[in-house]
């Protein structure tokens, strides 16, 4: 757990001062660069939640709402 805390601290500390201006974000704003799963991935995520013990930490559903693991 200490490693996780350290990683988060490092990530926040190192990167949050960086700044890319809006007019320089044409690459970042590309649809393929979205920091979320594609909407068409939702059904794959659903069957993975049923067939695997792990879930969550992907910005989406975090459990409950189904008789799954």
Q: Say how far apart CA 65 and CA 57 lie, in whole Å.
A: 17
Instruction: Report whether 42 contacts 21 (CB < 8 A).
Output: no
Dihedrals φ, ψ of 15, to 5°?
-105, -20
Residue 32 CB, nearest approach to other proteins (Å): 4
Binding footprint of other proteins on the chain (CB under 8 A): 1, 4-5, 7-9, 11-12, 15-22, 24-25, 27-28, 30-36, 38-44, 46-48, 50-59, 62-67, 69
Distance CA 66, CA 63 (A): 8
Question: Least distance from C-beta 34 to other proteins, angstroms?
Answer: 8
What is the closest distance, in whole angstroms, from the C-beta atom of residue 20 to other proteins in the complex?
5
């Amino acid at each position: 757990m200490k490693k996780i805390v350290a990683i988060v601290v490092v990530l926040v500390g190192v990167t949050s001062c960086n700044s890319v201006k809006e007019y320089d974000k044409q690459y970042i704003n590309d649809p393929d660069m979205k920091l979320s799963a594609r909407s068409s991935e939702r059904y794959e995520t659903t069957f993975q939640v049923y067939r695997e013990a792990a879930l969550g930490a992907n910005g989406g559903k975090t459990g409950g709402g189904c008789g799954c693991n």
